[in-house]
């Protein structure tokens, strides 16, 4: 039995298709939109449409941008000899928020996952290898600490090492506030291997 009219139900249904939005959040968003002024709704809809039409991949690093090259790749203040490989634009944004990394990035748009049918040709690996023909000294692999992320890191490492370019992997381990008894063995091992002097 539908509680709402077909237009409200359809709006809720569309919001619920977004990642991380359950039925209650979808309802909240739908009713929020319905309570907005027409101008606010038009601005929201226009912004979504414009973003979809104008956002594309940076021709160098493949992050999302509305120009041919993103601001990071265009910057002469960045160290273009160091490339950090990340799975998504969100990962890039997370590193940029730290304000501590001064190199450039390469966004894979995924990770190798044979179970999901995602192979090396389905992510931006070929484009990464093409970039390494330039003056690159180091590639920092910063894929997630998942099975897929680890497989992707290992694959990239094996591809790059014969070229003589330094390949490093970000350290990962115990999160702040994490109790050791609840941490899985792989995370503990990575924390131990990535230890630093004090």
Q: Convert the pLDDT of each residue in 166-176 to its tens digit.
A: 998 887 766 66
Q: Left, alpha or beta for 81 (phi > 0: left; psi -120 to 50: alpha)?
A: alpha
Q: What is the pLDDT of residue 114?
A: 87
CA angle, 187 then 102 then 193, to 5°:
20
Neighbours of 135 (CB within 10 A): 7
Q: Is 158 exposed, middle or buried (CB count within 10 Å of its CB: 0-12, 13-18, 19+)? A: exposed
Residues of the chain with CATH 1.10.8.420: 6-54
Q: Inform me whether the pLDDT recorded for 53 exceeds 50.
A: yes
CATH number at 6-54: 1.10.8.420
What value does the mean pLDDT take over residues 139-162? Answer: 90
What value does the mean pLDDT take over residues 146-156? Answer: 89
**What is the percent of the chain with per-residue pLDDT over 90, rounded to a whole number?**
67
Q: Inform me whether the pLDDT recorded for 196 exceeds 60.
A: no
Q: What is the pLDDT of residue 75?
A: 95
Q: Give the H or E element holding residue 85.
A: strand 79-86
Q: What is the pLDDT of residue 137?
A: 94
Domain at 69-193: CATH architecture: 3-Layer(aba) Sandwich (3.40)
Residues of the chain with CATH 3.40.1360.10: 69-193
Q: What is the pLDDT of residue 150?
A: 87
Q: What is the pTM of this model?
A: 0.80
What value does the mean pLDDT take over residues 140-147? Answer: 87
pLDDT averaged over every residue in the chain: 88
């Amino acid at each position: 039995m539908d509680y709402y009219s077909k237009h409200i139900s359809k709006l809720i249904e569309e919001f619920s298709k977004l990642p991380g939005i359950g039925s209650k959040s979808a309802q909240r968003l739908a009713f929020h939109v319905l309570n907005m002024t027409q101008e606010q709704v038009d601005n929201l809809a226009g912004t979504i449409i414009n973003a979809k039409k104008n956002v594309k991949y940076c021709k160098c690093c493949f992050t999302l941008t509305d120009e041919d090259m993103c601001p990071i790749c265009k910057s002469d203040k960045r160290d273009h000899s160091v490339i950090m490989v990340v799975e998504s634009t969100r990962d890039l944004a997370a590193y940029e928020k730290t304000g501590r990394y001064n190199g450039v990035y390469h966004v894979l748009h995924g990770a190798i996952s044979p179970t999901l049918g995602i192979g090396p040709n389905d992510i931006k690996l070929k484009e990464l290898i093409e970039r390494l023909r330039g003056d690159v000294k180091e590639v920092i692999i910063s894929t997630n600490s998942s099975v897929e992320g680890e497989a992707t890191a290992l694959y990239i490492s094996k591809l790059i090492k014969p070229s003589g370019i330094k390949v490093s992997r970000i350290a990962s381990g115990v999160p702040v506030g994490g109790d050791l008894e609840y941490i899985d063995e792989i995370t503990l091992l990575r924390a131990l291997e990535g230890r630093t002097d004090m």
